[in-house]
Structure 1
Amino acid sequence: MAFTNLGDLPVLPQPESFALTAAYNEDTFPNKVNLGQGVYRDNNCQPWVLPSIREAEQTLHNQQVNHEYLPIAGHAQFLTKARDLLFSPAIASQDNITSIQAVAGTGANHLAAIFCARNLRPKNVFISDPTWDNHHLIWEIAAPNVTRKLYPYYDPCTRGLNFDGMLSELEKSAEENDVVILHACAHNPTGIDPTQDQWKKIADAVRRKKLIVIFDCAYQGFASGAADADAWAIRYFYTTLFTESSSSTGPAGMFVCQSLSKNFGLYGERIGALHLITPPLLPTQGAKAHLVRLVRAEISCPSLFGARLVHTVLDDTELVSKWHEDVKTMAHRIKGVRALLKSELETLGAQGDWGHIEQQIGMFSFTGLSSAQVQQLREKHHIYMLSNGRMSLSGLDEGNVAYVAQAIKDVL
């Protein structure tokens, strides 16, 4: 629908997570709790700058670096190190991976969607039910001619993965050259990941049906505390689908949207990369040229400071070792508050089985609370979380977990 009078444009609602944070900030209740915002917080629920990043900041300050434009494709040394982290140096050195800097994971997803819609022209994109809400908006805006379809993911009965439903839907409905979006680790919002055996079955279906995979990887290292473990699915798909022996029977390509915002604590720097994997022996210059053209039209060139910080960390043996300890610290704290919350709920005798809180992984827990119960938590107890029941565990600490557990018991 076109509007000739701009005053007739309807007012659109804020994204829920941002509206929730705004409401939390306006709340004057002294014991309010923010379990909605997807950012890491320390043991006092305060922003935490990674020690490895603090050292990198000092290094850059001492170097008195300039602030010139980057090339359109981004910071080359940063991209090399980011690719090594994601794929491992042995895989990353292959010449069928094209990398370009993006505005965090969101920008990488947006570039992938536009590139697919313009050049690969899938009929459908399959998105997990549920998913990070921006996946839908990105494809709605960037690729309106591609039909968005859901594949089952969360089983509310078991509060686990509906793997059979997921695989069945892809087998039944996905057509050659369709896109399927997969979360590499720490699925948002459920915190539920496939097992390695399940990943292998998904990869087999992708290969047989020649589907285009877009991996969204936002939590490498932060999910489990081990960067290599969190990248297992991506590396397996690469090896299975894009070695010379398998490429003739596999898909046209695979994308990995890599965010360095969360696992480096660089939320405001918006640092990320998009990696396009093509079958071996095919020329890649054309694909890179089209990606560069899209970046030029959107942002002209990407941001510099965050890319320098990540490169400084990953390029220094001491700093990268400290970074691995930093992500372990974050992962360990999240695992700790998972155990605390489960223990408090069980001690209080809260209705139901709360084992899923510890079984899930990453920053989020899909609690199983209904939207009505979430609303009660907000209105009666000043506890803020998404209406679908997703809880950001970084908002919990030893000082408020008992209060949150009692509030949950109260609304059941």
Structure 2
Amino acid sequence: MGEQYLELEVTPTDTAFSLMAQFEADLHPRKVSLIAGTYRDENGLPWILPSVKEAKARLREFESHEYLDIAGAPEFIKLSQSLVFGPELTTTLGDNIASIQTVSGTGANHMAAVFLAKHLPPRRVFIPSPTWINRKTIWASTDVAIMEYPYVAPHTGSVDIEGMLSFLEVTSEPNDVVILQPCAHNPTGVDLSRSQWSQVADIVHKNRLFVVFDNAYQGFASGNVDDDAWAMRYFLKQLMLKDNPQLTGFCVAQSFSKNFGLYGERVGALHLVAPPRFSTHGARSALINLARVEYSNPPRFGAKIVETILADERLRIQWQRDLVTMSSRIKDMRGNLRNQLSEGDTLGNWSHISSQIGMFSYTGLDIERVNRLRNEFHIYLLPSGRASICGLNGNNIEYVASAIRQV
């Protein structure tokens, strides 16, 4: 029947955006949103990075509204490669890296999923449990089977490295895709140590897996972009840049939403790295063809802001200071919340609040307590108990801690 689309069931709304709509409609004067991964200042207001503000001022006379190339702005792409891998490794890669500008990190992840499903192809994709709320939706748009690997040990709140390694070693097979986050893991805020990254690399090598790094928070974990890129550069040096490379390749899905505060500009990139004995020209042409089908040309203005900052030494230094400002305030809020919960009569150990890193905290609050926080105190978290620490400030943190103690 030609009218089958009229019989489609209503697709469930996205949980995060549905909660944000509820929050906006809530008229309570003390409501608090700990939902979205968007940075807020001490007054709870959006913060335009000083480096971004100056870059925009420089671009006032920039009047071009012409299409970018399908692959994106060449200088932006080169600078984004260098941000991920560093200048020396980027130069070493030469033709072994294929990059295109994407519609932020979601677009980069989706492009990777569609490209790999067609051209690798994997039997399965392994995603961490728990994970970013949109990841399953992205991979469900392909025919690749989705499996979850354990990431956090429930009783300790730390990385379940033994469970993760054992599951991947026994379950995966060559060309399967594994999703890894190099820093500031969403939603847990729990990152692998460097020794644990080495262990993961061993399993990836042994089972010949294809890694997709979801690089959404570079600079937000430690405040240092090079430290936060360590895992990606380690995989490149240890498993790719060798006479006998040990991987068939890997991808990096890169977002500039968080670390530049350009949430609505949708700035991202996808980088496909191949072993030295291969060229990526064919793969790049396939990525360009995919981009042409999906959106033809990526957005210009946000990418120009990033390009302006990364290409200018003074602006880049200011941007690095901006990262420290944001990451430091988040760390302070973590410590403050932990102290208030620990000093009160709240049940449980809250040390994980301050030991986690990045925008989010996996609080350990179950769905019943999360619902009570929303219904009784107008404090909004995701059902998983994930809280955006960016939503805390000196004006609301005592209220939030008091509410948690009461539920």
TM-score by length of 2: 0.98
Counterparts of 1:254-265 in structure 2, within 5 Å, are 254-265=250-261
Distance in 2, matches of 1:271 and 1:216, equals: 14
Counterparts of 1:86-165 in structure 2, within 5 Å, are 86-93=84-91, 94-95=93-94, 96-141=96-141, 143=142, 145-165=143-163
Give the counterpart of 1:386 among 338, 361, 382.
382
Which runs of at least 4 in structure 1 moved beyond 2 Å after TM superposition?
2-7
Residues 202-244 of structure 1: per-residue CA shift (max 9 Å, x gap) = 0111011110000000111112111111000000001011113
Give the counterpart of 2:241 among 197, 218, 243.
243
Distance in 2, matches of 1:65 and 1:262, equals: 26
Query: In the alignment, which residue of structure 2 is the partner of 1:80?
Result: 78
1:240 and 1:246 in contact (8 A); partners too: no
1:177 and 1:251 in contact (8 A); partners too: no
Query: In the alignment, which residue of structure 1 is the partner of 2:22?
Result: 23
Counterparts of 1:330-345 in structure 2, within 5 Å, are 330-345=326-341
1:387 offset after TM fit, Å?
0.4
Residues 345-399 of structure 1: per-residue CA shift (max 9 Å, x gap) = 0121211110000100000000000011100000000000000000000110011
1:3 offset after TM fit, Å?
8.1
Distance in 1, matches of 2:65 and 2:124, equals: 42
> Aligned AA for 2:23?
Y
Q: Which runs of 5+ in 1 are unaligned?
A: none
Distance in 2, matches of 1:213 and 1:166, equals: 15
Q: Cα 1:7–1:338, aligned 2, differ >3 Å: closer, same or farther?
A: same
Query: In the alignment, which residue of structure 2 is the partner of 1:33?
Result: 32
Give the counterpart of 2:285 among 289, 299, 320.
289
> Aligned AA for 2:274?
T
1:4 offset after TM fit, Å?
3.2
Corresponding residue pairs, total? 405
Distance in 1, matches of 2:32 and 2:177, equals: 38
Q: Secondary structure at the match of 1:161?
A: coil
Counterparts of 1:43-54 in structure 2, within 5 Å, are 43-54=42-53
1:281 offset after TM fit, Å?
2.6
1:64 offset after TM fit, Å?
3.0
User: Would you say 1:352 and 2:374 are equivalent positions?
Assistant: no
Give the counterpart of 1:174 among 152, 172, 175.
172
Q: Secondary structure at the match of 1:207?
A: helix
Query: In the alignment, which residue of structure 2 is the partner of 1:58?
Result: 57
Distance in 1, matches of 2:4 and 2:273, equals: 45
Distance in 2, matches of 1:401 and 1:350, equals: 15
Query: In the alignment, which residue of structure 1 is the partner of 2:314?
Result: 318
User: Would you say 1:299 and 2:263 are equivalent positions?
Assistant: no
Q: Secondary structure at the match of 2:257?
A: coil
1:3 and 1:9 in contact (8 A); partners too: no
Q: Secondary structure at the match of 2:45?
A: coil
1:10 offset after TM fit, Å?
1.1
1:6 offset after TM fit, Å?
3.2
Distance in 1, matches of 2:128 and 2:221, equals: 19
Q: Which runs of 5+ in 2 are unaligned?
A: none
Distance in 2, matches of 1:370 and 1:246, equals: 48
Q: Secondary structure at the match of 2:299?
A: coil
Q: Secondary structure at the match of 1:154?
A: coil
> Aligned AA for 2:82?
D
Distance in 2, matches of 1:30 and 1:224, equals: 34
